[in-house]
Amino acid sequence: MTFIEKLTKIWEKNNSLVCVGLDPDIDKLPACLKEKDFPIFEFNKAIIDATADIVCSYKPQAAYYQGQNADVELKMTIDYINENYPEVPVILDVKRGDIGSTSEMYAREAFIRYNADAATLNPYMGTDTLKPFLDYADKGSVILCRTSNPSSCELQELIADDAEIYKHVAKLSNTKWNYNNNVMLVIGATFPGELKTVREICPEIPFLVPGVGAQGGDVEAVLKNGLDANGYGLVINSSRGIIYADSSENFAQGARNATIELNNLINSYR
């Protein structure tokens, strides 16, 4: 089964467009976990067990593991999802992009070492840097288009040949880069107008949408502008808003409640 097929199945089965971002900061974990051998993994595991029936994917952010010397816990987390909830795809948020021979090593990191279903990619260096990922036909390549952060306008909104740079990325993603029909795009919830524009350019490509929750994106506008013709097409990520919803020992139930709340809000606009 390809990544896109897996995503399509889970959207329907769980009736959810919610992706939980697994970005655990060791300094923010509940006190009850701090003495554990693998506190980050235990934190993720409890949240996964509490939410796997109401999400469409998990998105571990590699920086939190690689910055905290917790590569092992990233591996344990993805293995745990694959073993216990194989129907839920894992998007490894790595934002890689490098020359071909190097990119092959990064694809190996995401798809072989960590066995993720998809990985996020940075398009600044162009086709040959994306190709080693795109060539994994069953895996997803999730390409940065219009990112959710404030300074994203500096390059992404520059206009060349009558189109902003992010539109060039959208067009390439819908054509040249989608030869295996395995491309997704990252478009921030903080820019709903751009979501609409890119949906027009790419009617069938799923969007990974960060920026609801802590970053302030408008859920109604995201749904109105981003859904595909089938009423799906969106993977709406929340990280801090879900994983830190409750800082007590009941954090997993808190994460479940926050996920349900977000999912209900999303589904009320579908």
* Residues labelled catalytic: 95
Residues in Cβ contact with 99 at an 8 Å cutoff, skipping those fewer than 6 apart:
125, 128, 129
- Nearest residue (CB) to a second copy, 67 versus 86: 67
- Nearest residue (CB) to a second copy, 16 versus 147: 147
CA distance 182 to 192: 23
Q: Closest distance between a second copy and the C-beta of residue 127, in Å?
A: 4
- Nearest residue (CB) to a second copy, 89 versus 210: 210
CA distance 218 to 213: 9
Q: Closest distance between a second copy and the C-beta of residue 123, in Å?
A: 6
DSSP letter for each residue of the chain: --HHHHHHHHHHHHT--EEEEE---GGGS-GGGTTSSSHHHHHHHHHHHHHTTS-SEEEEBHHHHHTTT-HHHHHHHHHHHHHH-TTS-BEEEEEE---HHHHHHHHHIIIIIS--SEEEE--TT-HHHHHHHHT-TTSEEEEEEE-SSGGGHHHHT-EETTEEHHHHHHHHHHTGGGTTS-EEEEE-TT-HHHHHHHHHH-SS--EEE--SGGG---HHHHHHHH--TTS--EEEEESHHHHTS--STTHHHHHHHHHHHHHHHHHHT-
Q: Closest distance between a second copy and the C-beta of residue 202, in Å?
A: 17
Which residue's structure tokens are 């409750």?
A: 246
Query: Exposed, middle or buried, 24 (CB in 10 Å: 0-12/13-18/19+)?
Result: buried
* Token pair belonging to 245: 């919803």
Q: Closest distance between a second copy and the C-beta of residue 210, in Å?
A: 8
- Nearest residue (CB) to a second copy, 1 versus 99: 99
- Nearest residue (CB) to a second copy, 247 versus 264: 247
| Residues that bind a second copy in the complex, under the rule CB under 8 A | 23, 25, 61, 63-64, 66-69, 71, 93, 95-109, 112-113, 122-129, 144, 147-156, 158-161, 165, 168-169, 172, 210, 215
- Nearest residue (CB) to a second copy, 159 versus 229: 159
Q: Closest distance between a second copy and the C-beta of residue 207, in Å?
A: 17
Q: Closest distance between a second copy and the C-beta of residue 36, in Å?
A: 21
